Structure 1
């Protein structure tokens, strides 16, 4: 293990698979960029297209915010959304501002946007919104905390956009399959209609499938009975043939379309696989008397499934068994296409807590996983010796679960979850927000508004 100290209040560390191998350069920094002005800016998600370009979505305020292509229009009372594309070297390709999202002042929902890129380079965005923003296809239907889905082409021009008012939506998530069909999910309170008839719930979960042109294919509602769905614990993925995979956590009983699953106490992790027409192929739950939840899910080219999240107690996935060393350990578990466990890894430290939040796979089946932690964390090569208020990790694993490299990102301020994306070659993009002084293994940065004001960052890392 080796560690390095960054600037000011930020410490960062990198861990290699073989600490004694002086020739290895795991997690090699390729480039990093920082964008901001004296107001606030946040990154909300990152994706990579087939050409290796990086796509970002987030929020910004101020009068001088630029991502390298000229100053974006100033915001009014509410923050604007920004969309941007950088090329493989991190240079500006295009950037856009989307005003009118108008997040409410009452805290009814936490606003999030997620994005993905299809095989043709089109950009799909899902989020919740308050107002009637216009992505270029005309204003969305007026909503108060409900969900939208937007498709842009590779140049950022609007292809289609759809707003679905009628409910408060939390934790929107989106994925796209090999044919361009979209799946969107989230928690909701109210009534939503994606085109197949109204779905109503007070504490439910929706899963909707849209065609490549935005038309309704199918939509479903799920709700825990005699229990609850785990707040914020939600992930969705699709394979190349159009199957959709959903994960999260629940207590009580939950039916994904078959026999209801029953939790063993606390929150149990669930996973379901749905076919192209929305039928349930299979659903499974994993857990014991304490909490186990899924937050991220990905599918590799051969149909294997990778999950990440947090667990206490013992999480048994067939012959794979993990025993937590803290109240919450982070995990990465690989399942075969039938939903049976093949291997599992945990990231732990008894003095703190850990939670896996996102996972992605490259064309060779290697895995990038990210999450958050307190205390220290061991990604497989010894504990990261880090100090700070906000701690995030990114780990690269091979297809067997062996650690390739691991990085820690620490800042004194608050940020959104560090987001990751992986390209076909296996290079990882890491994006997020920071305040004060920061170092992402390359250039040193300082937020332009000083401590307490957030700028956005994005960085690229490779295996060698």
Structure 2
């Protein structure tokens, strides 16, 4: 504040450009100058030019004493209490949550209220207030929980048999592709593929019944840069009493481009479980192929025309069932495959993760055993080559299992989850966002609440710390499962699975979008 303590009129002029900023100050009058940043400010009198002065602007660093609430939804209000925020919001000041700007709605020297922004970065927890270039971060993180945006369900009302969404993928325009199975008029499941627009409206739906009209099912889907969809599953062919691996490529408008099916050397069941596509249009199929040693762990590479490039199989030490359940590919066309192998002494299933180069040469193998039924069900790889695997391991009795490896197969962290009921909990799907946050879905048994399996979703930080958990319990209090998950660049989370809304029918296809 500048006070005219003399007997004459004065005016305050900025020394830098000569502009009058105060108007005439009569004797005893005052002018308050607001500095937008620390520094030196030169002034002179506009009436008496030889009279000059200097102001030194400085700001004490802000402090944060509390934030409220510590957990909330995007779009809600966050209150920040502290000191030295400034009476008004000036230049060089602001609030960020997870490095995302949060719009302030109330600003005083001791309290700020802001709106929690939507977006993936907003949920990694760090709340920072910056005043005049001085930042301060609160000691406890804020966790932004997701908000349901829309939900879609589907069943064959004429049959009311079991229907399920098993896989989900996105294209670059935000369209959503879901694959699974839906019951036909005979009560047997058909392969089911659907494309939704970003608002959840149906673009097209494709059903496929195998020639034998038995149990046919899509288990995986991937989408390339042109919006072509690659679907993998199992199908009974005409005249065959056994399942075969089934592969089909659809155009972005749902047209069938080509179809392939194959199996192992024996006339026994074969399983197509996973698919991934690289930037060149090559795609990769993971599954189990029948052999003289039960199932063999299998991965096949196709080029963009559907021509087989290479095919790799692995037979575990017990010559029994070994199966690949999922596959991912990185920017260098290295291929990551996970599933399980059967080992002695009690024919346990051990989690098996393998990395191949672009030519199909094995680079490394990792296993995990809890001495029971341990299986990997989903795998993803990020831009740095870190590998993320979800599944389940023997626990009390079965626990969700999540592990992050570096590109060389070294374990970075592992997380498990056992529900309060200490019952059967499974991890089926995994996704990674652009910040390295990890999303896992599956189901948890909540017999302690009188509920069967509920859809279970958990978000982890890049270092494996749980950030939030969401569950969904359908109307029948049982039979709800999250089977696949993906996340877009804006932090929207998409889940596919099944739900049981009434005991008068069997499961329905269930797809949900959450905003963060």
Residue aligned with 1:251, SS: strand
Aligned to 1:292: 322
Aligned to 1:365: 385
Q: Is the 8 A contact 2:263 2:290 kept in 1?
A: no
Aligned to 1:187: 234
Cα gap change, 1:102/1:416 in structure 2, threshold over 3 Å: closer, same or farther?
Answer: farther
For residues 401-439 of structure 1, give each alpha carbon's deviation from its aligned partner in whole angstroms, at most 9, with x where no partner exists. 1112111012334455432111222211112232438xx
CA distance in 2 between partners of 1:161 and 1:209 (Å): 14
Cα gap change, 1:461/1:338 in structure 2, threshold over 3 Å: closer, same or farther?
Answer: same
Deviation, 1:335, is 0.7
Residue from 343, 359, 362 that aligns with 1:338 = 359
Q: Is the 8 A contact 2:278 2:330 kept in 1?
A: yes
Deviation, 1:463, is 2.0
Gaps of 5+ in 2: 1-69, 74-118, 122-142, 464-516
CA distance in 2 between partners of 1:340 and 1:229 (Å): 27
Q: Is the 8 A contact 1:309 1:331 kept in 2?
A: yes
CA distance in 2 between partners of 1:113 and 1:101 (Å): 16
User: Per chain length, whose mean CA-contact separation is higher, i.e. which structure has more relative contact order (CA < 8 Å, sep 6+)?
Assistant: 1
CA distance in 2 between partners of 1:245 and 1:114 (Å): 15
Residue from 193, 203, 206 that aligns with 1:162 = 206
Residue aligned with 1:179, SS: coil
Aligned to 1:219: 259
Aligned to 1:280: 308
Aligned to 2:283: 244
Aligned to 1:301: 331
Q: Is the 8 A contact 2:263 2:270 kept in 1?
A: no
Residue aligned with 1:267, SS: strand
**Where do residues 437-448 of structure 1 align in structure 2 (5 Å cutoff)?**
none
Q: How many residues align?
A: 321
Cα gap change, 1:356/1:104 in structure 2, threshold over 3 Å: closer, same or farther?
Answer: farther
Query: Normalising to structure 1: TM-score of the pair?
Result: 0.62
**Where do residues 61-72 of structure 1 align in structure 2 (5 Å cutoff)?**
none
Query: Normalising to structure 2: TM-score of the pair?
Result: 0.56
Aligned to 2:179: 126
Deviation, 1:92, is 2.1
CA distance in 1 between partners of 2:298 and 2:320 (Å): 14
Q: Is the 8 A contact 1:104 1:144 kept in 2?
A: no
CA distance in 2 between partners of 1:171 and 1:344 (Å): 28
Deviation, 1:453, is 3.7
> 1:206 aligned to 2:246?
yes
Deviation, 1:251, is 2.4
Cα gap change, 1:251/1:218 in structure 2, threshold over 3 Å: closer, same or farther?
Answer: same
User: Which protein has the larger Cα radius of gyration, Structure 1 or Structure 2?
Assistant: 2
Deviation, 1:143, is 7.9
Residue aligned with 1:328, SS: strand
Residue from 428, 434, 440 that aligns with 2:444 = 434
> 1:421 aligned to 2:431?
yes
Cα gap change, 1:391/1:32 in structure 2, threshold over 3 Å: closer, same or farther?
Answer: farther
Residue aligned with 1:163, SS: strand
Aligned to 2:375: 355
Cα gap change, 1:327/1:99 in structure 2, threshold over 3 Å: closer, same or farther?
Answer: closer
For residues 277-301 of structure 1, give each alpha carbon's deviation from its aligned partner in whole angstroms, at most 9, with x where no partner exists. 1111111212153332111111112
Aligned to 2:194: 150
Gaps of 5+ in 1: 1-29, 34-50, 54-87, 133-141, 192-198, 253-262, 314-322, 376-387, 438-446
**Where do residues 385-400 of structure 1 align in structure 2 (5 Å cutoff)?**
388-400=396-408
